[in-house]
Structure 1
Amino acid sequence: MRFRKLKKQTKQRKQPKISIIYASYPDKIKALITDMFMIYAPILYVIAYVIMGGKDAFQSSQIAPLSGVLLYGLIYAILISKFGQTPGKKAYNIKVVDDKSLKNISFVRAFVRFVAFLFSATIIIGLLIPFYRKDKKALHDILCHTVEIKVKD
């Protein structure tokens, strides 16, 4: 068989491209705010009032806020690795997946993504990157090779 014919056959057999709809930035922000109210606020309430005994003890402690963020990060990583969504992301039909295979990411990778998000939010520039990219990836998505996509109901 000639090379040209062989090349044409391989081009014809290629799988069709899957169209990916990237999550919009306003939806990502709304999902984050929803998660803060549904997951993070109850964690802080339990730590401050049930465990510490009041807001004054919580505010004077350095470990309490850190443990709240750590617990939130663990819950976030579990939800992202198992379902690809947190309650806020589910409300806005957003899913966090691997940018190549479009499959759920591992727990460790989801936790690293959370830590990278904290870094990204701290330096603000990391959260402004999506405005300049077609795939709307923030710094934590670039570092962890993930993407937030829209999913159908």
Structure 2
Amino acid sequence: MGRWRKVKQGKIGKRREKRKTSDETALPCAPITLRLKAFLTDTFMITMPILYIVIYLVMGDREGFREHMGEGWLIILIVHMAATLLFWKLKAQTPGMKAYDLTLIDPQTGEKPGIVKLFLRYVMLQTAILSFFGMFLPFIMRHKEGLHDLVSGTCIVYRPR
């Protein structure tokens, strides 16, 4: 007796639809090229003004910065972290991310991540930038996540206007 006849007679239930796994329903991370462009834009829009202000206004000049380089870099890092976390918390975007229609989300909820996840993402982003492994991880990961995405449980998605 064929399968169709057994199904029609009710001896075998209909095939159940295959449930989607969490990988299939997860929002895809934005392309690496867009995230890199946003990062470079943020470098010039956020980091460069902070560097200039700290070196020339806070430390006086390059020689003053050179003499107190540790303090200078600490100030730069703290101000950069505060600015980036503020952008992420308020709009889930930095200026570079906004320019390329990227949004930072918590993939489990689809909403803006909490401050703890944002802080963890920032710390791990700096770690990824300084490590060889962290820089190339998105190129080998299936969903193109970076070290900071994996550890913090966040993702940057492309949402065109």
TM-score (norm. length: structure 1): 0.84
Which residue of 43, 68, 71 corresponds with 1:63? 71
Aligned-partner SS, 2:52: helix
Query: Does the CA contact (< 8 Å) of 1:74 and 1:111 recur in 2?
Result: no
Alignment of 1:3-152 (within 5 A): 20-61=27-68, 62-152=70-160
Check whether the contact 1:77–1:108 (CA below 8 A) recurs between aligned residues: no
1:89 aligned partner, one-letter code: M
Structure showing greater Rg? 2
Q: Which amino acid aligns with 1:143?
A: V
Contiguous gaps of at least 5 residues in structure 1: 12-16
TM-superposed CA distance for 1:133, in Å, is 2.1
Ranges in structure 2 where 5+ consecutive residues have no aligned partner? 1-12
Q: For the Cα contact (< 8 Å) 2:117–2:153, is it kept in 1?
A: no
One-letter amino acid matched to 2:80: Y
The runs of 4+ residues in structure 1 deviating greater than 6 Å are none
Tell me the equivalent position of 2:5: none
- CA drift of 1:47 comes to 0.8
Q: Name the SS for the 1:20 alignment partner.
A: coil
Secondary structure of the corresponding residue to residue 99 of structure 1: coil
Aligned length in residues: 142
Amino acid at match of 1:57: G
Q: Is the 8 A contact 1:99 1:146 kept in 2?
A: yes
CA distance in 2, matches of 1:108, 1:54: 36
- SS of 2:142's partner is coil
CA deviation map 1:25-45 (0-9, x unaligned): 111111111101111110111
Does the 8 Å contact 2:105/2:157 carry over to 1? yes
TM-superposed deviation, 1:98: 0.5
Which amino acid in the other structure matches residue 153 of structure 2? H
**Cα-to-partner distance string for 1:94-137 (whole Å, 9 max, x where unaligned):** 11110211110122321221111111111121121111223211
